[in-house]
Amino acid sequence: MKNRLKVLRAERDWSQAKLAELLDVSRQTINAIETGKYDPSLPLAFKIAFLFGLQIEEIFEPGNEG
């Protein structure tokens, strides 16, 4: 799954640590999501979408897996 998390974070000038704190997860988790190594759970995806004031599909989109 692809995502725009890094772009959205950069637009707000937030560090990974700051975003991690806002979402109550580890910085490692933010990094893994941004690099596409980990797909977040639905509750975390909703939390991310709510934080950025967007719909989930505006942040995440299907990758090669369809």
Partner 1 sequence: MNTTEGRVPDAELRKNIFAGGLMGAAYGLLIGVGTDRSLMLTVITGILFGIAIGFRFSVRPPKMRYPMYMARRIAYTASFFLLSSTIYSYLIDLDLSRLQIVLTTLLPTVGWAALVISIGMAIANLDELQRRIQTEAIAIAFGGTAIFVGSYALLQFAGFAQINVGVVVLIMSLMWLVGKLWTMWRYR
Q: Given the rule CB under 8 A, which residues bind partner 1?
A: 17, 20-21, 24-29, 31-32, 37-38, 40-41, 44
What tokens were used for 47? 């939390």
CB of 41 to partner 1, least distance (A): 5
CB closer to partner 1 out of 11 and 28: 28
Give the residue among 52, 46, 39 at the shortest CA–CA distance from 8: 52
CB of 14 to partner 1, least distance (A): 15
Q: If you write DSSP's letter for every residue of 9-26 in order, what string do you get?
A: HHHTT--HHHHHHHHTS-
